Amino acid sequence: MACFSATQLYSLSWTLSAKPRPLNPYPNSSLFVKCTNRTLSTVPSPIRCPSRASIVSSCVSSEIGIAERASTLRELCEGHVPDHILRRVEEVGFVAPTDVQREALPVLLSGHDCILHAQTGSGKTLAYLLSMFSVVNTQRSAVQAVIVVPTRELGMQVTKVARVLSAKPAEPGVEACSVMALLDGGMLRRHKSWLKAEPPTVVVATLGSLCQMLEKQILTLESMRVLIIDEVDFIFNSPKQVSSLRKVLMSYSSIKNRQTIFASASIPHHRRFLHDCIQQKWTKADVVHVHVNPVEPMPSRLHHRFLICDKDERPQTLLSLLKSDAPQSAIIFVGEQSEKSKKAGQGPPTTLLIDLLRTSDTGCSDVLLLEEDMNFNSRAASLSEMRQGGSYLLVATDLASRGVDLPETTHIYNFDLPKNAVDYLHRAGRTGRRPFSDDKCIVTSIITPEERFALQRFENELVFNCAEMVL
Ligand SMILES: Nc1ncnc2c1ncn2[C@@H]1O[C@H](COP(=O)(O)OP(=O)(O)OP(=O)(O)O)[C@@H](O)[C@H]1O
């Protein structure tokens, strides 16, 4: 049987295949794939262990029954998730489950390891947080859950949602669940004392900071019940992060009573990933792949357009587009500055664009920037300004393309075309983030004639139609 290491797999440039793969390359592994059409397909289980497949299969089938009957999050979670958390979830306004929550929660709450694979903005965060709250014990003074995220921005967002849901309940005797954000750029010295003196129940961490704490043995994985890796494909594909992630997963694999959850809207070559999970013991062998909307990787309410112009006409084209669209709130994605342009002493393309937008009449008073080169405080300030409501134009690099939840965003503009289909999917997914809304959201790519072919490739890989527009 062919065997790939994760590094080999993820250093290859990934292409996202929307069609199910015709062959299972790993006939000896037991993979359980659960899709929205409620069919549970199990790839033939090992001859070595035939009974395990049937046990897991019947267990997951009965869970599907629960999901079919439940119309509220409470019905799905009652008996597993503490009541004060469920009340808080309802107060916040989450009553009906989204598709991924309906599909995944029965699997997660039964303790299975799980790969949550569903469209952007589909509510994967709430699914894994509810599952996490069902296993942690706030009476114990130990870190019992770690949520790994690729960026500080996503970490702050997840921490905020976790804290809102676990806010101190009114009833006496019920402990609030403490959540620590252990993120790059944070005050690690302060966190060290906090971890030693009064360990939080949950830690939301970027890999750099998490590994520092693990190496210094300020944090150990022994008391852990659940490890969640959000945007897992991004982390595996990041040369800076992949080796740390593999180390964490390897140490965690020796923990008894553990649950592992991976989440992303894109898991290219997911069968290989599942196989690696089992073979490398990142998950238990009965890991379930919850794959929602496998044939439609992007939300259908996104409308995709493109506009062709020469490279140096793009700034004026963008201004004309903004004038005609008059977006309430928009994100304009710009590519990273090339080495050539840096060496030539040119300013970063984001700064040039910001200057242009601030001096032009775009009808939008708040023009903000989010990119890697900014200091962490300025990055946080940009995000919090957008979250205060009102209208904004955000100029951003791909730093903003993963996980960032700004539900007010109605328009996405690709000022530079993303490098690949996966990046297109995540950029486009920064809009259309209200699960039960039919509001039209628009994704527009400004391309040169030579880039038309690349965009067409994205259309084929992600199964969507991009309509040409003229101004
Ligand atoms: N049951 C629900 N009812 C209403 N809104 C919900 C529900 N669950 C989640 N949401 C909202 O949906 C939005 C998207 O959720 P979330 O950020 O979890 O998406 P995601 O699946 O993680 O997306 P991405 O892959 O882009 O990170 C959030 O604004 C969240 O508050």
Helix, strand and coil in the chain, % to nearest 5: 40, 15, 45
d(C-alpha 302, C-alpha 288), whole Å: 29
Candidates 126, 147, 229: which one to mutate for ligand 1, based on the most atoms within 8 Å of Cβ? 126
How far, in Å, is the centroid of ligand 1 from the Cα of 433?
7
Buried b (16+ CB within 10 A) or exposed e, 357-377: beeeebebeebbbbbeebeee
d(C-alpha 96, C-alpha 47), whole Å: 41
How far, in Å, is the centroid of ligand 1 from the Cα of 103?
15
Q: Give residue 433's identity as a one-letter amino acid code.
A: R
Q: Is 401 in the pocket of ligand 1 (CB under 6 A)?
A: no
Q: Is 432 in the pocket of ligand 1 (CB under 6 A)?
A: no
Q: Do domains 6-292 and 302-468 have the same CATH topology?
A: yes
Q: 372 to each of 192, 279, 335, 400, how far by Cα in Å?
A: 26, 35, 12, 10
Residue 411 has a CB neighbour count (10 Å cut-off) of 21
Chain centroid offset of residue 1 CA: 31
Q: Is 297 in the pocket of ligand 1 (CB under 6 A)?
A: no
What is the C-alpha end-to-end distance of the chain, expressed in Å?
Answer: 55
The structure tokens listed for 242 are 């992949």
What pLDDT was estimated at residue 340? Answer: 86
The residue whose C-alpha atom lies closest to atom 30 belonging to ligand 1 is: 123
What pLDDT was estimated at residue 69? Answer: 62
Candidates 125, 148, 204: which one to mutate for ligand 1, based on the most atoms within 8 Å of Cβ? 125
The residue whose C-alpha atom lies closest to atom 9 belonging to ligand 1 is: 123
The set of residues, in sequence order, having a beta carbon less than 8 Å from that of 316 and lying 6+ positions away, is none
Q: Is 422 in the pocket of ligand 1 (CB under 6 A)?
A: no
What pLDDT was estimated at residue 67? Answer: 57
Q: 444 to each of 249, 321, 414, how far by Cα in Å?
A: 39, 9, 6
How far, in Å, is the centroid of ligand 1 from the Cα of 119?
10
How far, in Å, is the centroid of ligand 1 from the Cα of 405?
8
What pLDDT was estimated at residue 362? Answer: 77
Cα dihedral sign for 237, 240, 243, 245?
negative
The structure tokens listed for 335 are 């590519």
How far, in Å, is the centroid of ligand 1 from the Cα of 351?
31
Q: Which atom of ligand 1 is nearest to the CA of 118?
A: 21
What pLDDT was estimated at residue 245? Answer: 97
| Sequence spans of domains, the chain | 6-292, 302-468
The structure tokens listed for 322 are 């903004």
How far, in Å, is the centroid of ligand 1 from the Cα of 118?
11
Q: Is 125 in the pocket of ligand 1 (CB under 6 A)?
A: yes
Q: Is 199 in the pocket of ligand 1 (CB under 6 A)?
A: no
Check whether domain 6-292 has CATH 3.10.20.600, yes or no:
no
Asked if residue 200 lies in contact with residue 234, where contact means CB atoms within 8 angstroms, the answer is no
Q: Is 409 in the pocket of ligand 1 (CB under 6 A)?
A: no
What pLDDT was estimated at residue 366? Answer: 87
Q: Following DSSP, what letter does each residue of 186-218 receive, concatenated?
A: S-HHHHHHHHHHS--SEEEEEHHHHHHHHHTTS
The residue whose C-alpha atom lies closest to atom 4 belonging to ligand 1 is: 94
Q: Following DSSP, what letter does each residue of 45-70 receive, concatenated?
A: --TT-HHHHHHHHHHHHHHHHHHHH-
CATH ID of 302-468, from 3.40.50.1100, 3.40.50.300, 3.90.550.10, 3.40.630.30: 3.40.50.300
Q: Is 117 in the pocket of ligand 1 (CB under 6 A)?
A: no
How many residues make up the chain in this entry? 471
| Residue 251 host element (H or E) | helix 242-252
Q: Which atom of ligand 1 is nearest to the CA of 98?
A: 1
The residue whose C-alpha atom lies closest to atom 14 belonging to ligand 1 is: 121
d(C-alpha 11, C-alpha 13), whole Å: 6
> Does ipTM top 0.85?
yes
The residue whose C-alpha atom lies closest to atom 26 belonging to ligand 1 is: 120
Going residue by residue through the chain, which has 471 residues, state the pLDDT in tens, using 9 for 90 and above: 334 343 333 332 232 233 333 333 333 333 444 544 333 333 333 323 323 333 333 334 444 555 566 789 999 999 999 999 999 999 999 999 999 999 999 999 999 999 999 999 999 999 999 999 999 999 999 999 999 999 999 999 999 999 999 987 777 777 889 999 999 887 778 888 889 899 999 999 999 999 999 999 999 999 999 999 999 999 999 999 999 999 999 999 999 889 999 999 999 999 999 999 999 999 999 999 999 999 999 999 999 999 999 999 999 999 999 999 999 999 999 998 888 888 888 888 999 999 999 998 877 678 999 998 898 889 999 998 888 877 899 999 999 999 999 999 999 999 999 999 999 999 999 999 999 998 889 999 999 999 999 999 999 999 999 999 988
Choose among 332, 381, 386: nearest CA to 360.
Answer: 332
Q: Which parts of 195-273 are beta strand (E)?
A: 202-206, 226-230, 259-264
How far, in Å, is the centroid of ligand 1 from the Cα of 128?
11
How far, in Å, is the centroid of ligand 1 from the Cα of 278?
28
